[in-house]
Amino acid sequence: MHTYKIATVAALGAAAVTTASSLADLCTVSNVQSALPSNGTLLGINLLPSTVTASALYNQSSGTGSSGTYNYCNVTVSYTHTGKGDAVVLKYAFPSPSDFENRFYVAGGGGFSLSTDATGGLEYGAAGGATDAGYDAFETSYDDVVLYGNGSLNWDATYMFSYQALGEMTKVGKEISKGFYGLSSDEKIYTYFEGCSDGGREGMSQVQRWGEEYDGVIAGAPAFRFAQQQVTHVFPATVEKTQGYYPPPCELQKIVNATIAACDPLDGRTDGVVSRSDLCKLNFNLSSIIGEHYYCAAETSSSLGFGFSKRQAAGSTTSYQPAQNGTVTAQGVAIAQAVYDGLHNSAGERAYLSWQIAASLDDADTEYNNDTESWGLEIPSTGGEYVTKFVELLDLDNLSNLDNVTYDTLVDWMNTAIVRYLDSLQTTLPDLTPFQSTGGKLLHYHGESDPSIPTASSVHYWQSVRSIMYNDLTDEESLAALEDWYQFYLIPGAAHCGTNTLQPGPYPENNMNIMIDWVENGVKPTRLNTTVSSGQYEGETQMLCQWPTRPLWHGNSSNFECVNDQKSYDSWMYTFPAFKLPVY
Ligand SMILES: *[C@@H]1O[C@H](CO)[C@@H](O)[C@H](O)[C@H]1NC(C)=O
Ligand SMILES: *[C@@H]1O[C@H](CO)[C@@H](O)[C@H](O)[C@H]1NC(C)=O
Ligand SMILES: *[C@@H]1O[C@H](CO)[C@@H](O)[C@H](O)[C@H]1NC(C)=O
Ligand SMILES: *[C@@H]1O[C@H](CO)[C@@H](O)[C@H](O)[C@H]1NC(C)=O
Ligand SMILES: *[C@@H]1O[C@H](CO)[C@@H](O)[C@H](O)[C@H]1NC(C)=O
Ligand SMILES: *[C@@H]1O[C@H](CO)[C@@H](O)[C@H](O)[C@H]1NC(C)=O
Ligand SMILES: *[C@@H]1O[C@H](CO)[C@@H](O)[C@H](O)[C@H]1NC(C)=O
Ligand SMILES: *[C@@H]1O[C@H](CO)[C@@H](O)[C@H](O)[C@H]1NC(C)=O
Ligand SMILES: *[C@@H]1O[C@H](CO)[C@@H](O)[C@H](O)[C@H]1NC(C)=O
Ligand SMILES: *[C@@H]1O[C@H](CO)[C@@H](O)[C@H](O)[C@H]1NC(C)=O
Ligand SMILES: *[C@@H]1O[C@H](CO)[C@@H](O)[C@H](O)[C@H]1NC(C)=O
Ligand SMILES: *[C@@H]1O[C@H](CO)[C@@H](O)[C@H](O)[C@H]1NC(C)=O
């Protein structure tokens, strides 16, 4: 049970009058209004007291699927930027004073959406918040407002989505929290961020731009290096068009399945999981799959992962597929190999990295044409829409074709977007000194078989931070310095921000508790606690190896070592000579 100073009493300067307040006592419009930071105290942010709403809610479930029920104060308030005349709506959830543990929690969103839910911190005794970012983000996806019209980019929405809205929501939310509970201004509020995919990018944006505001950030599979990442979604289709072969989806699935089967034992345990995609890359030749038989029954299916735009149906398109019965061709393997090799320009210079071998090839899915009874081009809208709206500045939801599109075109698109969004969406600033020097802790993870955001994309950023911040240290010293506050883990076999139906591997389920222990109790993790969620090893705890060490199992037992393997490590290292700018 905590006791709290009543804000107004403390403000009068009365000596340490403490009273146990109830939620109903604190959850009033006037208490929230008196907790608002005054104009001029947070540069450029003017809270609007007249917009405050506050209502106590009891026995509510949180929006995040945790099992408990919670009592909290539901607060909304708007602010404007000095001189701008805009309005940004914030919502906050303040737990009962008896549950509040001096924490503030921010959740990441996904796709082109910020989180709309402020209740994710309740299970940790944390206040939490969400922002409409000034473009009605509770209802609208950023890609739906990014253009005012053809050629006319909405920079306000772009900066707000990129990093600004979350930073402001957090900074304001911590101030209101102190006033709301009557804490003194120098009292610590432990501040956490947790997100995956674009939520991971959002977390990285906060580490990079608002580092002093956060104590612990958990970032999964961040969708950063945004220009390269988004254009890469149309890379597989470009490979197919360039090579003139549109494989039946079943053929690619077979290639992936056969790769998993072949590479599973390379890590020392045959458990259906490719825990060492690096050994697979170094030792397995996809050509050995040529001639293997595949069969998939006819189906009406939806494909292409999650829809990025709220205008498009969630989970994207439905399509009919006939039964597919054949053998893996040399052309099919050539497509898979080129996709895994990653984008190079016509001079053979590398432009980007790719998904790890054994990751499924979702973006390479082709579309069946009932009339011609053949497979043909399908452009994933994740990439197609990015090119039309963000690169070409045309208000279209998808590219209609890839006519005249070559690998060099993709590189040009990336270059255009890198330059245009370098200080907003790109989100790859590698100097994290403000975050690190104020004690921030970063837990970064990525599924090793992520089919949407290449795993090596995260490795590259980790390496950029290490080399930019610790350039003067030896390898060993820089590793030691970094892992004190920035730890990175690959999740064997995992897909995009979740488990993988093709590989029954482990997944972290306890990240926030690990982070709280690290931040508040100084318990620095050395491995990452995960649980296998299906298959023959369901329920097994795996304490994952911290990058750059790699797992190596012993004879199918449940024990693995974390080894240093230079050849494996090198297989994850990339340079991008197709770009003149440094790529962090
Ligand atoms: C702060 O500024 C806003 C407009 O920017 C105004 O509406 C509000 O009344 C001001 N608050 C105070 C306490 O002056
Ligand atoms: C919340 O649930 C508890 C336990 O079921 C009950 O005692 C209490 O009356 C409920 N409160 C409200 C406001 O519904
Ligand atoms: C919180 O308050 C806002 C503003 O009154 C309201 O729109 C919203 O529905 C409330 N949330 C819940 C969960 O009741
Ligand atoms: C934007 O450009 C596209 C492609 O040229 C065109 O189809 C569309 O009608 C244009 N929209 C507007 C509002 O002009
Ligand atoms: C690939 O493996 C998955 C999971 O075991 C299975 O459901 C699917 O039918 C397989 N596909 C092919 C083409 O072998
Ligand atoms: C894979 O095997 C094929 C056919 O044997 C060969 O042409 C190719 O060079 C091999 N690839 C690698 C990377 O060794
Ligand atoms: C697939 O094709 C092979 C050879 O053409 C044939 O023997 C087999 O019966 C077919 N399988 C199915 C399920 O149609
Ligand atoms: C394609 O053809 C199949 C078989 O003739 C039919 O069942 C299906 O409805 C057709 N799909 C579309 C989208 O026309
Ligand atoms: C995008 O356009 C391509 C080409 O017209 C089409 O194949 C694909 O299904 C479209 N994707 C979506 C999600 O609409
Ligand atoms: C593609 O290139 C050809 C030849 O340069 C040109 O005639 C055609 O208009 C181009 N098509 C598109 C869609 O740009
Ligand atoms: C791992 O996390 C689980 C909860 O997911 C917990 O029960 C277990 O004690 C943790 N194990 C270790 C070694 O930290
Ligand atoms: C591990 O298990 C697989 C099949 O489950 C078996 O083929 C293999 O021989 C075993 N390896 C060792 C080293 O026991």
pLDDT digit string, tens, across residues 314-373: 445 567 899 999 999 999 999 999 999 999 999 999 999 999 999 999 999 999 999 999
Q: How far is the CA of 578 from the centre of ligand 3 (A)?
A: 50
How would you classify the pairing of strands 367-369 and 374-376? antiparallel
Q: Is 531 in the pocket of ligand 5 (CB under 6 A)?
A: no
C-alpha distance across the termini of the chain, in Å: 47
Candidates 21, 162, 177, 197; catalytic one = 197
Q: How far is the CA of 30 from the centre of ligand 3 (A)?
A: 17
Instruction: Give start-end residues of each CATH 3.40.50.1820 domain in the chain.
Output: 2-225+427-531
Q: Which ligand is nearest to the CA of 59?
A: 2
Query: Which protein residue's CA is at the shortest distance from atom 10 of ligand 6?
Result: 285
pLDDT reading at 1 higher than 50:
no
Give dist(CA 457, CA 445) in Å, integer: 11
Kindly give, in sequence order, each residue whose CB lies less than 8 Å from that of residue 9, ignoring residues fewer than 6 positions away. Answer: 17, 19, 182
What's the whole-number mean pLDDT along residues 479-484? 98
Q: Which ligand is nearest to the CA of 284?
A: 6
**Residue 197 is among the residues annotated as catalytic for this protein:** yes
Q: What atom of ligand 7 comes closest to residue 297's alpha carbon?
A: 13
- Phi/psi of residue 130, nearest 5 degrees: -150, 160
pLDDT reading at 11 higher than 70:
no
Q: Which residues of 194-222 are buried (b: 16+ CB within 10 A; e: fewer)?
A: bbbbbbbbbbbbbbbbbbebbbbbbbbbb
Please state whether the peptide bond connecting residue 548 to the residue before it is cis, i.e. omega within 30 degrees of 0: yes
Q: How far is the CA of 134 from the centre of ligand 1 (A)?
A: 18
Q: How far is the CA of 73 from the centre of ligand 3 (A)?
A: 10
pTM: 0.94
**Residue 374 is among the residues annotated as catalytic for this protein:** no
Give the CATH fold of the 2-225+427-531 domain: Rossmann fold (3.40.50)
Q: Provide, rounded to the nearest whole percent, the portion of the chain with pLDDT above 90.
A: 91
Q: Express each pLDDT in 104-145 by its tens digit.
A: 999 999 999 999 999 999 999 999 999 999 999 999 999 999
Q: Which two tokens stand for residue 460?
A: 């590259």
How would you classify the pairing of strands 152-153 and 147-149? antiparallel
